[in-house]
Amino acid sequence: MKKNTMKKLLAASLSLSLALSLAACSGGSSSSAQDPAGSGEAAPADGGYKIAVVRQLDHASMNEIRDAIFAELDAKAAELSLTISYEDFNGNNDTSTLSQIGAQILADQYDAIIPIGTLAAQQMVSVAEESQTPVIYGTVSYPEVANLTGIDYVTGTSDALNVELLLDMMLAADPDIQTVGLLYSTSEVNSAPAIEDAKAYLDEKGVSYLEKTGTTSDEIIAAVNSMLGQVDAVFTPTDNAVQATELAIAPILAEAGIPHYAGADSFVRNGAFATCGVNYTDLGTQTADLALEVLQTGEFPEYVTVSGDIITVNTDTAATLGLDYSLFQDMGSQVVEVQTTQD
């Protein structure tokens, strides 16, 4: 085995049949310095592993998870004196593109697939059914709902949202809230269980709610505009469609005096007021470790739940809203302050 494994990102080299359709979807690969391995090459000669990472779309949380996976694979390659090559694919939130990516991954004989996001996981599981290529998904909030459990060649990490804590934060910051907007996409299977949990919580507290949905950015922006003047706060679960629109909707809500409580810190970095949950760098690290454990042992746990109660607050949005978030200090393990960024 090669002792010192260096990694470098390379442009994906896809087969001619998919070059045009997937050219914008593949990011790069990592390999040993002496024998760079692009897409389509055999597994490393030293008995190492060739791993495909498939992001559902270009998305702040998914990119953070991907980067953590790559960093951990690099670290483990050095620790174990092992060559680990990897490549990044972007599915553009499109089932057809994801299916094509999956077919290319199988043709190129990757040892494992790490899909990031529920739709990506579902597509990769389907594509790998015949080959039984190991699939180790990252950040699927509700694996049972997504039909990703009870499959011999599938495992992964789950980041189920602590809906109760997030709504506790909402009512602690403003006990006079009368109506909460529930903003989500009907195309996201992960959103439905969290929305049902939110409804049950609000019913118990005697707080009314208004549901608004959308699948495209334009529909989500329209849904937000239709809430103005009708809700006192907005709740969104870990919904990829809404997160992709957060930069557009955050100023609308903040300027209307409506705090947006959302399911991941990527929302907050793009302008939502607050969230609570896992650290996505930690989740990516654990996903990479799980993938290597599967490859080395052949054992597939049902899935691993990554929990956390880190509270993240956007200080720019807090200032616009005039909200005091100091009381959050006693509600989670820590409070992280961020400002709005464009990525």
| Structure tokens belonging to residue 180 | 């909460």
For residue range 265-300, list pLDDT tens digits in order: 889 999 999 999 888 899 999 999 999 999 999 999
Instruction: Evaluate if residue 11 carries a pLDDT over 70.
Output: no
Is residue 315 a contact partner of residue 273, using CB atoms and an 8 Å limit? no
pLDDT band at 27 (very low <50, low <70, confident <90, very high): low
* Spatial CA neighbour of 161 closest among 252, 267, 11, 47: 267
Assess whether pLDDT exceeds 50 at residue 16.
no
**Residue 34 pLDDT class (50, 70, 90 cuts):** very low
pLDDT of residue 9 exceeding 70, the answer is: no
Measured in degrees and rounded to the nearest 5, phi and psi for residue 57 equal: -160, 170
Residue predicted with more confidence, 251 or 36 = 251
Q: Are 49 and 82 in contact (CB under 8 A)?
A: yes
Q: How many residues does the chain have?
A: 343
The pLDDT of residue 8 is above 50: no
- Residue 187, pLDDT score: 87
When pLDDT is cut at 50, 70 and 90, the band that residue 25 belongs to is: low
Tokens 């939110």 — which residue? 198
The pLDDT confidence band at residue 28, using thresholds 50, 70 and 90, is: low
What digits encode the pLDDT tens for the residues 197-235? 999 999 999 999 999 999 999 999 999 999 999 999 999
Tokens of 109: 């004989």
What per-residue confidence (pLDDT) applies to 44? 57
CB contact set of 42 (below 8 Å; sequence gap of 6+): 50, 109
Please report, in angstroms and rounded to a whole number, the separation of the first and last CA atoms in the chain. Answer: 39
d(CA 288, CA 290): 5
Digit-coded pLDDT (tens) for 62-77: 999 999 999 999 999 9
State the chain's mean pLDDT as an integer. Answer: 88
pLDDT at 196 over 70: yes
Band of residue 308 on the pLDDT scale cut at 50, 70, 90: confident
| 297 φ/ψ angles, rounded to the nearest 5 degrees | -110, -25
Q: What percentage of the chain has pLDDT greater than the value 90?
A: 76
What's the one-letter identity of residue 64? E
Q: Mind listing the pLDDT tens digit for each residue in 167-188?
A: 999 999 999 999 999 999 998 8
- Going by pLDDT thresholds of 50, 70 and 90, the confidence category of residue 59 is confident
CA distances from 94 to 25, 66, 123, 228 (A): 11, 18, 10, 31
Convert the pLDDT of each residue in 87-136 to its tens digit.
999 999 899 999 999 999 999 999 999 999 999 999 999 999 999 999 99
Domains of the chain: 16-159+279-305 (3.40.50.2300), 163-277+309-338 (3.40.50.2300)
188-216 residues labelled b (16+ CB within 10 A) or e (exposed)? bbbbebbbebbeebbeeeebebeebbbee
Would you say residue 236 has pLDDT above 50?
yes
Query: Which residue shows structure tokens 């439905």?
Result: 192
Answer whether residue 6 shows pLDDT above 80: no
